[in-house]
Amino acid sequence: MHASSIDLAHPDGAAVTKPGLGKIVQDTRFVFWRELLLVLRDPFSLVFSLLQPLIFLALFGPLLGAAVGTEAFGGESSLQWFLPGVVVMISLFGTTMTGSNLQYELMTGSYERILATPLSRSSLMIGRALKEWAPLVAQGLLIALVCIPFGFVFYPLHVLLGLLILGIFGIGIGALSYTLALITQGTEWVFWGVQQTLLFPLMILSGIMLPIEAGPGWMQVLSRYNPLTYLVNAERELFAGNIGTDVLWGLLAAVLTAAVGLAIGIRTTKKQTI
Amino acid sequence: MIHTDKLTKHFKNKKETVEAVKGVDIDIAPGELVAFLGPNGAGKSTTLRMLTTLLSPTSGSARVAGVDVVADPAGVRSRIGYIGQGNGGGHSYRVIDELIMQGRFYGMNSADARARARELLVTMDLQELEKRTVIKLSGGQRRRMDVALGLMHSPQLLFLDEPSTGMDPQNRANLWDHIMRLRAEHGTTIVLTTHYLDEADSMSERVIVIDHGKIIADDTAARLKSNLAGDLLAVEVALASVPAARAVLGQAAADGELEESRHDGGASFRVRLPDGARLAPGLLKALDDAGAPATSLKLNPPTLDDVFLELTGRSLREGAEV
């Protein structure tokens, strides 16, 4: 950011017209950092975000094992099966909220102020989505460590790769959530209606919480058209310490989601008449 | 600094098309201080948003700071400062953090951004509030912070959209002190919108009057007033002198219009005169000569509202109160 960015500080210097990849990465860092400042200035919120998945895991995990029985998971510990699902779920909760944080800024005028700066449009979305994803790294590692005494086998490199794929996926979901906030501007409740209505069917149909194989045929068909399914399968494979075709499919689903989300998001930002 | 050619914006709302800006031509030279004046919904802010790349024009073109707004919006954005109608600072952020991030957004390095932020906090009388969160600032402080945000990268061209709306007179004066100082020290070109008549009148050198998406006048406030409105002269005479007075004043009236009203023991006439202060003594003498001496006389200098009334037949004041 040093030599290349100094020109921008002097408006009469070199003009930067089409944002190159370097500029997008740098801008994304700034947007990400600005969002993260809120957490850093108020660290208490971080404590809650770490507690949340633990509570969920502690309350739901035992029920799942008792209700479905361990044979449904191929003889593994139910944790080994369930934990990656929880990680995907936390990342979904976080990244679908990207737009909600934007809503306040849309109302006050700070979003407009930022739009008037030379930040590249894609960085506004990517930076915000990554901020929702960042705590996931801490959350994911923490719950993995906590679960070790209960029979969970921890493969650190595989888990890290899993978190990276989730990060890519999160960029797409974050961009879509961001777009939703933009187009529901002025009717904030619509944002929540749409977010909730989409979130739960997508989650259930991906087999996050209960194995989809146990469901009727139509559910299994629907789940095949759900990108989240591939993400969940990839995470399960990785958390079990394997890298195979599921991981590749998951990566593909993540990249496609990110590409579609960003394309829609950038188009909407450019079309917006705010 | 700014050149537009038939700049136009239409909004499509359901099925009907709203022509918000209907082909405006604007030329603004470096160092000018220009106010867009007009009632709410006249197209002032829409024009400003096109110039600041926040809206894309439907047709026409605009060059801002030497750069075309459609071909290179990012180039325009890096050269201008923009202070919108809302509050620029995120509510949960600390003042200093937002200022530094704003500098970073414009490509300043961390140390430069921090130094510039500190400098602006002093200039804008916010130095004590560095670590305060934005939501805890008073309205006036928040507005000064908005200006500080707009100035972080020291732009040569600054846009302000309704900078003082909703502020009390003291804070308005204070804000204007800051803006005028900025201009005096750095020669910044300033373009603002306002529906406050007195503000456009006393602060800007040039007023562009916009109504229904069109520019209906563009000149200095002083020339607009003397050319379009003229002073309002109110003369009272005794009842007996009314016919003679009517003849004399009717002839002097710039627009041929003479308002007349009766009250006990006399009548009062109101007439518009371009450059009334110079004409009034002669008119008094003419009334004397006609045997209709004035019993009282009042000369009201014109306001921009008179100009707007003259141009559109409507008062800007009514529009502004909505």
Whole-number pLDDT of residue B89: 92
Whether B34 contacts B190, CB under 8 Å: yes
Whole-number pLDDT of residue B258: 80
Chain A CB contacts of B75 below 8 Å:
15-17
Whether B175 contacts B145, CB under 8 Å: no
Whole-number pLDDT of residue B112: 95
Neighbours of B205 (CB within 10 A): 13
Residue B48 identity? L
> What average pLDDT does the segment B293-315 reach?
83
Neighbours of A79 (CB within 10 A): 24
Weakest-pLDDT range from A42-56, B17-31, B110-124, B273-287: A42-56
Return the closest-CA partner of residue A91 out of A238, A235, A263: A235
Contacting B with CB below 8 Å, chain A residues are: 1-2, 5-9, 11-12, 15-19, 27, 30, 33-34, 37-38, 41-42, 104-105, 107-110, 112-120, 270, 273-274
Whole-number pLDDT of residue A75: 56
What are φ and ψ of residue B83, in 5° steps? Answer: -120, 105
Confidence of residue B245 (pLDDT cuts 50, 70, 90): confident
Q: How far is Cα B37 from Cα B298, in angstroms, rounded to an integer?
A: 28
Give chain B's mean pLDDT: 87
The encoded tokens of residue B140 equal: 């006036």
Q: How far is Cα B118 from Cα B130, in angstroms, rounded to an integer?
A: 8
Task: Output b/e per residue, B51-77; b: 16+ Cβ within 10 A.
Answer: bbbbbebbebebbbbbbebeebbbbbb
Whole-number pLDDT of residue B121: 93
Whole-number pLDDT of residue A70: 58
pTM of the model: 0.81
pLDDT at B248 over 70: yes
Chain A CB contacts of B97 below 8 Å:
34, 37, 41
Whole-number pLDDT of residue B190: 93
Confidence of residue B129 (pLDDT cuts 50, 70, 90): very high
The secondary structure of chain A in percent helix, strand, coil, rounded to multiples of 5, reads 80, 0, 20
Residue A86 identity? V
Chain A CB contacts of B162 below 8 Å:
none
Q: How far is Cα B66 from Cα B54, in angstroms, rounded to an integer?
A: 17
pLDDT at B254 over 80: no
Report, as ranges of residue numbers, the positions in chain A whose pLDDT lies below 70.
1-18, 67-77, 272-274
Residue B178 identity? H
Whole-number pLDDT of residue A68: 66
What is the percent of chain B where pLDDT is above 90?
Answer: 35
Q: Which of B54, B92, B93 sits opposite A116 (nearest CB)?
A: B54
pLDDT at B124 over 50: yes
Q: How far is Cα B268 from Cα B292, in angstroms, rounded to an integer?
A: 12
Residues B262-274: tens digit of each pLDDT: 887 788 888 888 7
In sequence order, what E strands does A101-234 have? none
pLDDT at B200 over 50: yes
Taking CA–CA distances from A111, the nearest residue in chain B reads B88
Chain A CB contacts of B146 below 8 Å:
113
The ipTM estimated for the assembled molecules is 0.81
> What average pLDDT does the segment B101-119 reach?
94
Whole-number pLDDT of residue A15: 44
Whole-number pLDDT of residue A1: 38
Residues B203-227: tens digit of each pLDDT: 778 999 898 999 988 988 888 887 7
For residue B26, what is the DSSP state?
Answer: -
